[in-house]
Amino acid sequence: MTFERPLTEHPILIQEVGMRDGLQSAGSFIETDDKVSLIDQLSSLGLKKIEVTSFVSPKAVPLLADAEVVLSKIQRNPDVVYTALIPNARGLERALQTELDEVNVVMSVSEAHNLANLRMRCSESLEQFRIITRDSGSLRVNGTLATAFGCPFTGPVDSSEVLDWGRRYLDLGIDSLTIADTIGAATPGQVYSVATAFIQAFPGIELTLHLHNTRGLGIANALAGIAAGITRFDASLGGIGGCPYAPGATGNVCTEDLVHALIFDGYSCKVLLPELIEVVNALDVLLPGSLTGLVRTSGLRDRVHSMSEGLQSMLESV
Ligand code: COA
Ligand code: ZN
């Protein structure tokens, strides 16, 4: 397929979700102070939003059981939106005790995955969202449509149903929408058509694409989203991530690889890449062997290697 080249001066905003999507399924518990240190380092790198944790049942996701403490310790940068995932009204009660800018409510548009992940039918999730939007006060509410491109249990998802759920979210007063490829099932053409449909159906509504790289299509899908007009992307440093209740799910599209692709392809992306890679190096120490990003080890596209002296003199004599 061919893409029309979108306006490259339009800023592409990156929203870091590794501290939530990544650490919820990491091999081991990352100490609270290490989480705080990573978030503080990420806060000065030009990221638009950071999803710092989730307020879910600590029995369901023990690796993020320290959500309140993390939020009490991080330093806030006023240019960054700090958000946390919540599944229900109990999550909102907890979030309201902290200094957050936004809560991210999540429901899978696939009934089967919503039951597996949140133990609720979609109608029950929507009822929770009704309470959350009623009681959220000045807190922004973003709504994630999970499994929007495929369900690990029931397969394909009808994109018109995803649009219908998006409309229901907005009717409840949810401020912005995230279209999430929870299991990395999307293809670029599908992303292009779903993103186009959302932009046409909900003009002026802030839209994010949340992509996983399970089948190697993460960056291709992001570029397809940009071609359709999406300018916000969730991504995860080191490529960590994955829903613990979605069999076969693996990491998010990798932040540093996506930023690298955008910068070197001429898009306006304000994330500081070398500094970001330093943070990924720090994460690598905490989660050895878990990172899947490529640019950190391969080097940036403009990296050049030195030649042997013999080859160098042959080159110079040409
Ligand atoms: N935060 C903390 N505890 C919560 C909670 C929340 N948001 N919501 C419910 N709980 C607690 C209840 O207080 C109750 O505690 P108790 O056993 O000590 O009495 C327990 O969890 C069970 O509550 P219940 O309402 O029956 O929940 P459930 O067992 O049906 O589980 C969820 C529903 C949504 C709470 C749970 O499935 C969950 O947290 N899932 C999140 C999964 C996830 O994060 N996936 C990846 C991101 S999409
Ligand atoms: Zn995800």
Question: Domain residue spans in the chain?
Answer: 13-317
CA-closest residue to ligand 1 atom 2: 57
Instruction: Say yes or no to pLDDT of 3 above 60.
Output: no
Ligand 1 midpoint to CA 309 (Å): 64
pLDDT of residue 318: 75
Determine the atom of ligand 1 nearest the C-alpha atom of 118. Answer: 37
Q: Is the CB of 218 under 6 A from ligand 1?
A: no
pLDDT tier for residue 10 given thresholds of 50, 70 and 90: confident
Q: Is the CB of 143 under 6 A from ligand 1?
A: no
Q: Which ligand is nearest to the CA of 118?
A: 1
Instruction: Say yes or no to pLDDT of 7 above 60.
Output: no
pLDDT tier for residue 161 given thresholds of 50, 70 and 90: very high
- Rg of the chain, C-alpha, whole Å: 20
Q: Element (H or E) spanning 85, and its range?
A: strand 81-86
Catalytic residue flag (residue 254)? no
Instruction: Say yes or no to pLDDT of 83 above 80.
Output: yes
Q: Which ligand is nearest to the CA of 180?
A: 2
pLDDT tier for residue 29 given thresholds of 50, 70 and 90: very high
Q: Which ligand is nearest to the CA of 107?
A: 1
Ligand 1 midpoint to CA 113 (Å): 15
Which residue is catalytic, options 122, 243, 254, 269? Answer: 243
Q: Is the CB of 108 under 6 A from ligand 1?
A: no
Closest CA to 210 of 246, 164, 263, 264: 246
Q: Which residues of 141-167 are buried (b: 16+ CB within 10 A; e: fewer)?
A: bbbbbbbbbbbbeeeebebeebbebbe
Ligand 1 midpoint to CA 25 (Å): 16
> How far apart, in Å, are the Cα atoms of 112 and each of 58, 87, 120, 184?
22, 16, 9, 17
Q: Is the CB of 243 under 6 A from ligand 1?
A: yes
pLDDT of residue 9: 66
Predicted model pTM: 0.96
Instruction: Say yes or no to pLDDT of 6 above 90.
Output: no
Ligand 1 midpoint to CA 272 (Å): 37
Q: Is the CB of 188 under 6 A from ligand 1?
A: no
pLDDT of residue 54: 98
Q: Which tens digit of pLDDT belongs to each residue from 227-263? A: 999 999 999 999 999 999 999 999 999 999 999 999 9
Minimum mean pLDDT range among 8-17, 48-57, 273-282: 8-17
pLDDT of residue 8: 57
Q: Higher confidence at residue 169 or residue 2?
A: 169
Which residues is 11 bridged to in the sheet?
268
Query: Under CATH, which architecture does the 13-317 domain have?
Result: Alpha-Beta Barrel (3.20)
Q: Is the CB of 60 under 6 A from ligand 1?
A: yes
CA-closest residue to ligand 1 atom 30: 119
Q: Element (H or E) spanning 129, and its range?
A: helix 122-135
Q: What is the mean pLDDT of the chain?
A: 96
